[in-house]
Amino acid sequence: MNFVLEPRPRPSPTNAYYAATLPEFITDDPTAVVRELTNQNALAFHGNRPEQAHAWHAQVPLLRAAVRDLPDIEHWSVLLEYSLRRLQKRPDAVLLGPGIILVIEFKMGADAHSSMYEQQAEDYALCIRDFHAEARGFPIVPIVCAENAPAVPLQPPRFTDGVSNALLTNASGLAQALRVAASTRSDLRPLTWERFDGGSYRPTPKIVDAARAIYAGHSVQEIGRSDAEGSALAHTAERLRHWVNQARENQEHVICLLTGTPGAGKSLLGLNLVLADDAGRMEGEPAVMLTGNRPLVEVLTQALVDDARAQGKNREVCRALQGSLQTLLGYLKQHAPVNAGAPPERIVVFDEAQRAWDEETGQKLLDRRLSEPALIFEILDRLPWACLVCLVGPGQEINRGEGGMPLWGTALEAEARKGRAWRVVAPSSDAVTTSQPIEIDPALHLSGCIRAYRSSRYGEWVDKLLAGELSAAASLAHEMETPPAFLTRDVKELKAWLRERARGNRRPGLLVSSGAVRAIAEGLPKPLMSNELKEIARWFLKRRPDFRGSDSLEVPLSEFGCQGLELDYVGLCWGGDLIWSHERSCWIARKMSAPLWRTIGKQIKAQFRVNAYRVLLTRAREGVCVFVPKGDPGDPTRLPTELDEIARTLEAAGCSQLS
């Protein structure tokens, strides 16, 4: 008896509208392919988009004709409308070949290329490189096909960190562009569309992008990573929602201590709590995130207001947004007076709680001899219930008057003596020193690092470097896939490295310590002052050719201007305010006392200087290059011997020479 085997149905992709091998794509009925794209689009957007379907009717036959002459075509596959699952990003086509990934963006009907098209295609390619596990090690070529644009001479792609410049072509030149891109294959490793579609994708948005996404209605889980660290973020967000509900239901006062290293995602969760509709707030219930970081408030608020205005939302919405993010000092000035009454917000996020100031500072700023924690408790005691979430990150105290976590313990004891005991929730019993009962919730500690996503141990390396543990730092660096930081002695080389990486939506910028006052002799102007808020917001939000943006590489920021914010690539100018002593095997903090440097004697002030470099070294998401000047033997404030010793120390800790 003969059996006829029915062909198995082709599996459906999870993250694309259509996927197939190239031989299947070529033989599939193009009308059926467009129908599938249209059906999936209708499901995703709850309705048809006729203009999109019209574009697909032209795009699908164009791509089918262009891929026919690719080498080893039987080993290629295609995904159409592949979702990057982050802020609705969808490359039109992703071609997977042996040893190569091509990302194609079609501009049907376009009669010219534009830098915006290139930026879009490059950003797709960079996101796949950075966040897609199956793409690791594959060279990626972005391609822009502007249907009716004039022909552009094709040159072999130039790769930087695994992603090439965007190849520009038109409809008639697409086949040649694909062949040129395919010729750059480094090996012949196969990559099927099934493997790619099912691979782990771990997007990690910048804090500004995250705020925009949360405000637009995305959850932490949707905009965060899909690995263990992303799951931890989602779980912590759920626990914060639980404690908010507990405070509301029981009409009690709850303080949650949320701890984690710089870049672990604390601010992301704080923003989620005050901006997201499903984070635990009831409808119409106000919440506020308070921070002493005025630049952070300005940048985030300006970004959100710009988005709201672009969406045609009214002034009341913009004012509400501005109320969700406030400076601590402004909040305290309004509510600290004894007769001020209760604040409207029962849900309060206190950013960088470890930097709370002491009684002396309270006397100076508000004419009340109370610490910042004591004032916050006094204000929230006026409410029938409240949930206070304190974000705690160690090692970032950079200002005098910052008393740290002991102030919270002291304030909790004072509350108990007044008969107003708070319910304390923390990830461990040593999070705060108090005799009050502490409820342990391990989810309130974030141990990962989502900012430096290309090296989860980067934060440890910074700690070892600044602690002077060079051998331990070097061992960590040896375990990393790429060096923790690069090193150059040439500021022009530094800027060239940064400019080469200013692609897609990737943002580079220059940073310099506020104490490195002699950087001006190396051609770097003084950094923006922390009270130049509008200028700092433009620095983070504008892009070239606007010279005010960070990627113009004209003006640096100090630790006071960038704390709490992020860049993709950092060029850090290391100054004479933190030098290495070979004899003592430690860092020596200094302050300029013109015309010479003076060693900082007080331990707390010296630690502020070390912490300033911790802030500066942990602002980058993708890469850091440290510029150590060569100095001038005729200038006692820029001695080559001191600067050479800094460079040798950084190399000993694992930094790699850029050249």
pTM of the predicted model, to two decimals? Answer: 0.83
Q: How far apart are CA 367 and CA 360, in angstroms?
A: 9
Condensed to tens digits (0 to 9), the pLDDT of residues 344-354 reads: 999 999 998 98
In sequence order, which residues have a C-beta less than 8 Å from that of residue 523 and are 6 or more positions away? 491
Average pLDDT over residues 499-513: 94
* Separation of CA 159 from chain center: 24
- pLDDT > 70: percent of the chain: 90
Average pLDDT over residues 362-372: 90
Q: Is the pLDDT of residue 9 over 70?
A: no
Helices and strands in the chain: count of H runs, count of E runs: 23, 24
Average pLDDT over residues 356-361: 89
* Separation of CA 1 from chain center: 64
Instruction: List the one residue out of 281, 140, 289 whose CA is nearest residue 210.
Output: 289
Distances (CA, A) of 242 to 258, 425, 562: 14, 12, 32
Instruction: List the one residue out of 237, 248, 234, 268 whose CA is nearest residue 423.
Output: 248
Buried b (16+ CB within 10 A) or exposed e, 67-81: beebeebebbbbbbb
DSSP-based three-state secondary structure for 104: strand
- Which DSSP state fits 367? S
Q: Is the pLDDT of residue 2 over 60?
A: no
Q: Is the pLDDT of residue 228 over 70?
A: no
Answer for the pair 605, 400: CB distance below 8 angstroms, yes or no: yes
Distances (CA, A) of 64 to 26, 57, 145, 174, 259: 6, 12, 14, 11, 53
Q: Is the pLDDT of residue 183 over 80?
A: yes
Lookup: tokens for 406: 């002991």
Condensed to tens digits (0 to 9), the pLDDT of residues 565-613 reads: 889 999 999 999 999 999 999 999 999 999 999 999 999 899 999 999 9
Domains of the chain with CATH codes: 16-198 (no CATH), 207-446 (3.40.50), 458-657 (3.40.50)
Q: How far apart are CA 492 and CA 85, in angstroms?
A: 37
Residue 328: enclosing H or E segment and its boundaries?
Answer: helix 328-335
Answer for the pair 174, 197: CB distance below 8 angstroms, yes or no: no
Handedness of CA 412, 413, 418, 423 (dihedral sign): positive
Q: How far apart are CA 244 and CA 542, in angstroms?
A: 36
In sequence order, which residues have a C-beta less than 8 Å from that of residue 231 and are 6 or more positions away? none
pLDDT at position 234: 85
Least confident segment among 29-43, 109-123, 171-185, 529-543: 29-43
Residue 94: enclosing H or E segment and its boundaries?
Answer: strand 93-97
Of the two residues 9 and 153, the one the predictor is more confident about is: 153
